[in-house]
Structures are given as structure tokens and as C-alpha cells.
Amino acid sequence: MSRIDKVFEKRGKTAFIGFTVAGDPDEATSLLVAKALIEGGTDILEFGVPFSDPVADGPVIQRADDRALAAGTNPDTIFRLVKAVREYTDIPIVFLTYYNIVHKRGIDRFYREAHEAGVDGILVADMPVEESEEVTEVASRYGIDPIFLVTQTTSDERIDKIVEKARGYLYLVAVLGVTGVRDQVSSGALELISRVRKHTDLPLALGFGISSPEHAKTCTAAGADGVIVGSAIVSIVERNLGSPESMERELNDYVAQMKEAIR
């Protein structure tokens, strides 16, 4: 059983998936952020691989990507970060990346190095399921779960195609648009959980726009197996760039509050 499978083994217990941009604002601080998220109770750590054109991301995460790239972050940096986290914890680590990064590195090399570092799952945000055959085959070779996005506009037919390829969990997109904090969880997002559940027993994790304990409670009540938080976490990093101690404390407290909400 994979580390991701173990997190979702006990259905009825919602997992908290915390996202941070790897290398934001630099390698050392990024490791501090990861540790703070873990200490707060994060169940799965999701590293965003910084990219110059992150089409799925809003301004908060775009700025984090810019900071990470300005600091010289590259795949070598990110694999070092994963290895450093692996010395500290055994929780699952997932990448959210874009195909250009994987392709430039070489698909086999990227997944082999991810496996060697200790990565458990990879979501290639701009890779259609119809064009994923080579990547999912390589992922399987290295024991890495291929994770896919499902949106409110995804047809039932396409959901079936995604389910055939996906492992670990499905990432359900809660909003029509890019990442970023929203005031509330839309009714469409909650309906998406119910619709996708008819197609698969894979765990369903809801992300994009989730930021508050109230959001987390709503998602849990609707049957989400996991809640994914990114922009709210990255915002904490951004507003504490000059104070690592405050950053660490605020991240730890935030995750603890979210975990309490979904218990």
C-alpha cells in the first residue's frame, strides 16, 4: 500500500493537503515552510514546481513562482527539498507541475529522480488525459501515482477516461477559474463531489478557493475525502517574508485550525 493510500485508508476521516511553492522565497525558507505545515498536521504535502507560465494559478501563486524562480529554483533544487523533507517525515509528497518542465527534463529522468527523492504522486496540470499514456506508463514504472484534475465542466465520459488512468486521489477543482481565495465554496463544487463519486471509489480531494475552517467543514460535510489549500498558505508565506519565525508560527497555527475544522 502506498503512502497516499494509507492516508485515505480510513474513509470518513478527511485529509488536509497543504500546498506550497517549492523554493519560495528560497530553498532554506521553503524547507521551513514545509516543516511548519507538517508540524501543524498536514496529511499530504503538495509542492508546486515553479513555472514561468502557470496557467491554472492566480496572482498569489504566480508571485510565489516568480520569487522561487528569481532565487534560482530548478528541478535539482526541488529534488533536494524533497530529500530534506524525507529525512524529517514519511508523509506523502505530491508535485503539481506543468508538462513543459517534465518534458524538458525528460519524462523518464524526471519521474526516476522524483521516485529516488521520495515523491509519491505527480499532477501535471496542463496534461490532458487523452495525451497522458507515456507519462502514466513511466509513473507506474516508478511507483508514482498519476493524479488528475476534474472540473465542473468535465463530462461524465471524460471522467471515466480519467478514472482509468488516475491513482492516489482525484483533484476536484472547486471553482470555474484559477487558484485563489474565495468567499465561499460553490454549490457546483459540492455537486461535483456527488457526480464524480458515481464513477469511482478513488478518494476525492477538493481544491481551488478553499481557505477557511468554514470552507473545510462544508467540504467534509459534502463527502470530500480531502481538502487542498494553496493560496491561503502561500499568502501567509508572502506576508511574512521578512520574519521566518512569524511565518512558521502562523503556518503552524493555520493548519492546526483547518485540521480541527475537518475532524
Residues 6+ positions from 2 with CB-CB distance below 8 Å: 92, 120, 143, 145, 168
Task: Choose the catalytic residue: 27, 43, 57, 120.
Answer: 57
Judge contact between 224 and 193, C-beta under 8 A. yes
- The label of the residue with cell 505530491 reads 94
> Tens of pLDDT along 135-151?
999 999 999 999 999 99
Helix/strand/coil for 52:
coil
State residue 55's pLDDT score: 80
Please name each of the domains of the chain with its CATH number.
14-257 (3.20.20.70)
- The label of the residue with cell 492546526 reads 256
Where residue 189 falls among pLDDT bands split at 50, 70, 90? confident
Helix/strand/coil for 8:
coil
Residues forming a β-bridge with 226: 15, 205
Residues forming a β-bridge with 228: 17
Task: Give yes or no for residue 128 having a pLDDT over 80.
Answer: yes
Residues forming a β-bridge with 170: 204
State residue 208's pLDDT score: 84
Model's pTM, two decimal places? Answer: 0.94
> Tens of pLDDT along 191-214?
999 999 999 999 999 998 788 999
Where residue 167 falls among pLDDT bands split at 50, 70, 90? very high
Terminal Cα-to-Cα distance of the chain (whole angstroms): 24
CA distances from 100 to 4, 27, 50, 124, 136 (A): 25, 22, 11, 9, 16
Q: Active-site residue 191, yes or no?
A: no
Q: Is the peptide bond before 50 cis (omega within 30 degrees of 0)?
A: no
The per-residue pLDDT of the chain, averaged, comes to: 93
Task: Choose the catalytic residue: 46, 120, 225, 248.
Answer: 46
Task: Give yes or no for residue 222 having a pLDDT over 90.
Answer: no
- Strand 44-48 to strand 15-21: parallel, antiparallel, or no bridges (unpaired)? parallel
Least confident range from 169-178, 192-201, 214-223: namely 169-178
Q: Active-site residue 57, yes or no?
A: yes
Task: Give yes or no for residue 11 having a pLDDT over 80.
Answer: no
Helix/strand/coil for 227:
strand
Residue type, position 236, single letter: I
Residues forming a β-bridge with 48: 21, 96
Judge contact between 124 and 99, C-beta under 8 A. yes
Q: Which whole number is the average pLDDT over 163-173?
A: 97
d(CA 212, CA 198): 28
Q: Around 262, how many Cα atoms within 13 Å sit in the side-chain half-sphere?
A: 32
Helix and strand totals (H; E) in the chain: 12, 9
Task: Give yes or no for residue 180 having a pLDDT over 50.
Answer: no
Residues forming a β-bridge with 207: 173
Cell of 163: 478514472
